Amino acid sequence: MERSNRVRRKLVHQVFDRTYNRLLHTVTLTHLSNGKTDGADYAIHSRLLSSICLDLSIGFSRQKTAYVRNLAESLLDGRLRLDDIHNSDDETARLELLKIKGIGHWTIDIYLLMALGRPDIWPVGDLALAIALQRVKRLQMRPRPVEMEQIAISWRPWRAVAARLLWHYYLSNQFPRTTRTKTTPMITSKA
């Protein structure tokens, strides 16, 4: 019995603790599928989110648990209205989401890109993108967010497509997490 509980906790930990942002994406994607929240759907997901938050055995840190609870409360009490986020422009959505404690710029970029399918989102804080961009562009050093922004200007209004291509490149090649030191650019070709 103890072994099965450990296995269950490990599995749940792997699924939910990878990033708080995946939970945000999973819970909200259903609400946004038609651009509207459905009352029954919302109640089911809010109960699921609440039960996850209360079960600290899943491996959330205390801080992450507080952020997820805050997210759940924000959805339930109307401080965060997903319909409004869905229908707003990128900048307005950013400003509204930043009001929620625990949601930062990277989370917002990933949410807008993945959950809402916005075409011109460019997550400059994403390490995998920076590493892939360094390799593809044969840069001596991993680009900083400002440099990533400058490189991606010409990709507007389809920077999210570029991000997806770079993530695919990153995942298709095994790159070590490099520091911001000089590295040898590596372009691999598969025959």
pLDDT in tens, 55-99: 544 566 778 778 877 887 887 788 888 889 989 999 999 999 999
pLDDT of residue 96: 94
Is 103 in the same domain as 41?
yes
Is 8 in the same domain as 73?
yes
pLDDT in tens, 122-173: 999 999 999 999 999 999 999 999 999 999 999 999 999 999 999 999 988 8
Range of the domain at 51: 2-115
Is 106 in the same domain as 124?
no
Q: Enter the tokens of residue 101.
A: 């404690």
Q: Determine if the pTM surpasses 0.85.
A: no
The CA distance from 141 to 152, in Å, is: 17
Nearest of 180, 186, 182 to residue 140 by alpha carbon: 182
Is 62 in the same domain as 103?
yes
Q: How many CB atoms lie within 10 A of CB 66?
A: 14
Is 63 in the same domain as 153?
no
Q: Which of 92, 115, 138 is the last residue of a domain?
A: 115
Is 187 in the same domain as 125?
yes
Is 17 in the same domain as 100?
yes
Q: Identify the helix (H) or strand (E) that includes residue 111.
A: none
Cis peptide before 185 (omega within 30 of 0): no
pLDDT of residue 59: 60
The CA distance from 130 to 132, in Å, is: 6
Residues in Cβ contact with 182 at an 8 Å cutoff, skipping those fewer than 6 apart:
140, 141
